[in-house]
Amino acid sequence: MGLIVDLLPAGGRALVVGAGTVAARKIRNLVDAGFPVVVVAPAVHDEIRQIAEVSVVERLFAPADLDGDPPVALVFACTDDRAVNAEVGRLARERRILVLVADRQEESTFFTPATLRDGDLAVAVSTGGASPLLARELRERVVAALGPGWGRLVEAARRERAARLSRERAEPGP
């Protein structure tokens, strides 16, 4: 099991190789998190093409797709072609870019947990890549147990903390 972190989009763009069902789910999560997303695939579903925040490149993957500015921070290899996924994973690891190889857990350097988001509240459930289906089921149970509205509490806590820090900075020192 690894360390669960909340990556911020300031780290760079996300590259998704492939444009099927798995890729579409990853793309939606990336866009929701604010990442600039580039999708490279020879055929792209209309659902993906219609996401305004996504740049679509309709062609086969090329190693140069891992280069550029802004830099690639995350790569998702989500094709139905084992050889392409393996090559994307290998090249990303060589460049020390975080990579998720959808069809081979052992070739990935990270996994995406099943996440509940309510405003700035995020609750993640991970099985370390062992069973995404089980992680999603557990996430649904957490959602049902928590109920809605926690995002408002997080925002109120953020405002309260900011006000406290502002008061502390304004107080004269010893």
- Looking at the predicted structure, is the pLDDT value of residue 173 above 70? no
> Average of pLDDT values for 98-123?
89
Q: What is the pLDDT of residues 50-83, one digit of tens each?
A: 898 899 999 999 999 999 888 999 999 999 999 9
DSSP per-residue string spanning the chain:
--------GGG-EEEEE--SHHHHHHHHHHHHTT--EEEEESS--HHHHT-TTEEEEES---GGGG-SSSPEEEEEE--S-HHHHHHHHHHHHHTT-EEEETT-GGG-S--PPEEEEETTEEEEE--TTS-HHHHHHHHHHHHHHH-S-HHHHHHHHHHHHHHHHHHHHHS---
> Is the pLDDT reported for residue 11 higher than 80?
yes
pTM over 0.85: no
Domains and CATH numbers, the chain: 11-111 (3.40.50.720), 113-174 (no CATH)
Lowest mean pLDDT among 14-18, 96-100, 108-112: 108-112
